[in-house]
Structure 1
């Protein structure tokens, strides 16, 4: 009896030590994922910056500060992001060098014409950047302001322009090399591992979200908020996939598989939304939706399953895919049995039932396909994936023209002031204006970012003055120089990692290097530094005021044109080539909505309106694509009834016109076209009743037409007001006729 307490006394310290060790490991992992990642990024950034400065000094390059500036513009938390940005920076720098030399050769010692040509070049590059995504945007931006950085200081010295371009290229190359080496050698963070975690989280979250939607446990506002986040996940996934392509050969070989996975996720999301919307519209029609309730519940229960502790992600996804496919195989038979008692019901009730059953079947197929594709990512030895239609970003041409005009006006105004006043620091002011316009072109709040960059540049000028007057004269040797610069550089890099003040960090880091970065022979000219600092801050304040007063990005007409571009995806669904149209439609709609989300951040009412336009665009566009595909498969119907082809063409034409110019009259014509096509298909149904395949073809066509009609008259959708107005017009017309 005395042994038992002794045993417990002996085991308690070991158990306590094990518990403490596990808690410490968990805390260490949490710290590494949050604050540890930030400190690692700061260490790598400062190390790469100082290394680039030292190598540039060793090679006796003209301005080592440019190599250091390159590092602070280039460094990112993930290695793949650094490699991708490096590639595009090389391309952008090369193009900018050529542009600077060409403009200098064309406008020799003609500052007015040179500034005009440089303004057009910077504005064109910044506008072209808006048509691209991720770091391809950066290549266009860099091509613009690199030409300004090289050419503007030497506008009256064309003989030195070519050598300056070569020197700039060498300095940028040193910065790129140091960034890539440090990012890949010092505790590298791979984009591929981040992508794998993102995929796992997205899959588990989406299946849980779908289970809640199917069980009816999600309110409208919660659904719309979660669906808006799905848009960001889809666009963000494409960015991470692009980064991993540059770093991981495994991810590079599976790039097409990842693209297909993202396309299937968009399809599953759109199907889920369509199913939820139809179920919401039928809430008062229990006779059509109530018999399908067991299938909704069974599908929700399947998706609500979570992986067991000993089950791998691949095994869980394969098991869920098998369960979903088993459910899908038995669904048609169960639906036919459930439908028999309803065959004497009114035609509208039967149509609601058939449409709901068809959507359940298609959503199950999409989520099962998505599950199998996700499971296959972890399988070794996969054959190369055939090329699929790639993610196609979309930007309204109005946004591109708006960006061009905004950049041209700001840069031209600063350049004109420089020429008229012969301001000694006017060239640097014009460079700062070009930088401000370029770096804020894709920012959701350009005005705030420009003001933050101005504040950062002002603080950089103050810190640079202290360095030049009190630090550089007392520093002897490169190690002491690095020790003196490291705290200021780390502070700027830290601010750049904070989303709310990232503009301040970028302005501080970049302009501390440009204004007060050390060269091989340091010129102690604090008066010049102060003048240059004032010029930089003034130019950025001018840019911020222009963004806020003259060209505010949230102008009503611009938002409306972007919504029109979003609705234009339905026009693409109606008129575009069927080959690969699904991916093209989906990616364009999600990309435009992502831009609207950034633009309307903080404006809840406008954001909700834009989101509802996106939802009805997805509903109708997806249904139109399905209708066109199934009509192509049921080509026999056009041969049987000559009216069908013309009716289908009218449906597509009227829906396209409705989304080009939504109003009550266009909506009335579109609804009439849908009703006419529905009547023709219903007349064909009795003639093919004994031919199972053809009967199913007609039923699918009717389901698509019925869903399109229900989406167009949804009272909660943006077209709901036009639908009510169209109903009043029809009632007034009937009263006049009677």
Structure 2
């Protein structure tokens, strides 16, 4: 839990980017400088390539969102039900597209969706100023995005490439050790099984990290094609190893392992632990082919034993071929090459971009959730004539979008609400106890820097990341710094209450409509895999 120098560096960078955005927004006389500060905390990532990949699409998505608000608000402002429905459907449609797009481009659709709500709902009280408001919000958000990208790219940038190469190396090293355990016939202890399951999760994490590589400034950014080729082989290694373990156990139960197979398994295990050098792979493949040349008996009882032996050798051949490819691709990624130096096995199966799973059903449920959350917030706003009801509607839209990728977003959204309430109390002390004594920008920076750095530190630790995000985003929104001090306690309490109520309503609707749990997601993945197998059996893909 204690932050290291990398965490401190990120915290200082994100705080510096937020203060830079604030200073520029004040200098440019933008009406809501705090929007730029909050945007920095939404945009900035520890790795510079990840920040850049989001920055470009966030700018485009922001422009699309404010444009839609300008199109919808003026003609529908006198029909609040229709305007609410239009904004809710737009946000839902954009979230649906975002969840289907498994790339950094997904931020474009998500931003286009909830930015329209951010601009549209507060503008209903002054629809004649919608264009000026939309331009100002676009300028403030874009300024925050650019400051985050600038600081991330210029101040001691931490590139995606070296981190990705190190993660791939560690993953393949762990897989090599597991391979040695499988081929030696060691009984799989519970700790080993947990480690094997962790390999599957780490492969998905590496895949997610690789999506930002094309936006990186490191030498490895040219290796995006090799990463795509490596992805499929990394995933294929896991079932090949599992099937090898099954066949070794079955052959031992039937007739035992003959000396030739034992020697092969021991040599492949040694080769794998040594890092799967390509120079030795061809020799191993030739020995496997020679061991497989023996004819199959045509009658029982030896037929089944020979068939299992042949199947084991076939899987062993796959293991060596895929391991050789992984080592070659790993070396190419480390050198920053854009194409493999030698021909790869299974080029037809793993040639180029592999399609990613798209769950249309869950995307539709998420879209329905954000639509109903917006409608619920606006219904409460209209029924109570709440002056800050627009804030609740905005937060309902934003929170449903931000956590839509989780199996059960409700706990995360409720946690966000809790820490928003904590932020409101802390910001209240700062806003009414300290800021009245601040009279110049230098003093303002000294006052704001410690809490901004603390938010950045919290964001670097996975367990506290939602806390840091809630404090960084909503804390800056509640602080609402402008070019002169004009805070009023009653208005502040009302605004803070609206933030929390909007988030809680989003959590309630999400719990009713969207929360399914990991088991439901697993069942849907199994069903999708069975459909793929059926299509393959019919030779349709």
Fold agreement, TM-score > 0.5: yes
1:352 corresponds to: 308
Per-residue CA deviation, residues 357-383 of structure 1 (Å, 9 max, x unaligned), is 222222222212222222233457766
2:390 corresponds to: 427
1:100 corresponds to: 69
2:285 corresponds to: 328
Q: What's the offset of the Cα at 1:426?
A: 0.6
Q: What's the offset of the Cα at 1:121?
A: 1.6
Inter-partner Cα distance in structure 2 for 1:221 and 1:263: 27
Q: Does the Cα contact within 8 Å between 1:256 and 1:388 map onto a contact in 2?
A: no
Q: Does the Cα contact within 8 Å between 2:408 and 2:517 map onto a contact in 1?
A: no
In the TM superposition, 1:257-296 aligns within 5 A as 257-286=226-255, 292-296=261-265
Q: What's the offset of the Cα at 1:573?
A: 2.9
Q: Does the Cα contact within 8 Å between 1:547 and 1:553 map onto a contact in 2?
A: no
SS in 2 for 1:441: coil
2:344 corresponds to: none
SS in 2 for 1:76: coil
Q: What's the offset of the Cα at 1:521?
A: 3.2
Q: Does the Cα contact within 8 Å between 2:161 and 2:218 map onto a contact in 1?
A: no
Choose the corresponding residue for 2:269, options 297, 300, 311.
300
Q: What's the offset of the Cα at 1:288?
A: 7.1
Q: Does the Cα contact within 8 Å between 1:107 and 1:114 map onto a contact in 2?
A: yes
Choose the corresponding residue for 1:48, options 17, 35, 40.
17
In the TM superposition, 1:507-522 aligns within 5 A as 507-522=470-485
Inter-partner Cα distance in structure 2 for 1:551 and 1:376: 42
Gapped runs of 5+ residues in structure 2?
Answer: 342-346
Inter-partner Cα distance in structure 1 for 2:26 and 2:59: 21
Choose the corresponding residue for 2:118, options 136, 149, 174.
149
2:433 corresponds to: 470
Pair 1:553 & 2:516 matched: yes
Q: Does the Cα contact within 8 Å between 2:22 and 2:34 map onto a contact in 1?
A: yes
| Greater alpha carbon shift after TM alignment, 515-524 vs 279-288 | 279-288
Q: What's the offset of the Cα at 1:551?
A: 4.0
2:489 corresponds to: 526
Pair 1:556–1:253, CA change in 2 (3 A): closer
Inter-partner Cα distance in structure 1 for 2:306 and 2:329: 35
Choose the corresponding residue for 2:91, options 110, 113, 122.
122
Inter-partner Cα distance in structure 2 for 1:551 and 1:255: 35
Pair 1:252 & 2:236 matched: no
Choose the corresponding residue for 1:136, options 89, 97, 105.
105
Pair 1:536–1:366, CA change in 2 (3 A): same
Q: What's the offset of the Cα at 1:129?
A: 2.2
Inter-partner Cα distance in structure 1 for 2:418 and 2:293: 69
Q: Does the Cα contact within 8 Å between 2:162 and 2:220 map onto a contact in 1?
A: no
In the TM superposition, 1:699-714 aligns within 5 A as none
Inter-partner Cα distance in structure 1 for 2:296 and 2:404: 60
- Larger relative contact order (CA 8 Å, sep ≥ 6): 2
Inter-partner Cα distance in structure 1 for 2:518 and 2:328: 45
Q: How many residues align?
A: 533
2:409 corresponds to: 446
| Greater alpha carbon shift after TM alignment, 209-218 vs 229-238 | 229-238
Pair 1:66–1:382, CA change in 2 (3 A): closer
Q: Does the Cα contact within 8 Å between 1:109 and 1:158 map onto a contact in 2?
A: no
Q: Does the Cα contact within 8 Å between 1:279 and 1:356 map onto a contact in 2?
A: yes
| Greater alpha carbon shift after TM alignment, 376-385 vs 410-419 | 376-385
Q: What's the offset of the Cα at 1:418?
A: 0.8
Q: What's the offset of the Cα at 1:197?
A: 1.2
Choose the corresponding residue for 2:205, options 227, 236, 249.
236
Inter-partner Cα distance in structure 2 for 1:111 and 1:43: 44
Inter-partner Cα distance in structure 1 for 2:472 and 2:242: 45
2:526 corresponds to: 563
Inter-partner Cα distance in structure 1 for 2:525 and 2:108: 24
SS in 2 for 1:143: helix
Inter-partner Cα distance in structure 2 for 1:448 and 1:289: 55
Inter-partner Cα distance in structure 2 for 1:558 and 1:211: 32
SS in 2 for 1:519: coil
2:148 corresponds to: 179
Pair 1:185–1:206, CA change in 2 (3 A): same
Q: Does the Cα contact within 8 Å between 2:220 and 2:335 map onto a contact in 1?
A: no
Per-residue CA deviation, residues 246-266 of structure 1 (Å, 9 max, x unaligned), is 122633322112211222222
Q: What's the offset of the Cα at 1:88?
A: 1.7
**TM-score w.r.t. structure 1 length?**
0.68
Q: Does the Cα contact within 8 Å between 1:449 and 1:504 map onto a contact in 2?
A: no
Pair 1:124–1:336, CA change in 2 (3 A): same
Q: Does the Cα contact within 8 Å between 1:289 and 1:356 map onto a contact in 2?
A: no
Pair 1:377 & 2:346 matched: no
1:418 corresponds to: 381
Q: Does the Cα contact within 8 Å between 1:279 and 1:289 map onto a contact in 2?
A: no
Q: What's the offset of the Cα at 1:282?
A: 3.9
SS in 2 for 1:521: coil
Q: What's the offset of the Cα at 1:444?
A: 4.5
Q: What's the offset of the Cα at 1:327?
A: 1.3
Pair 1:245–1:558, CA change in 2 (3 A): closer
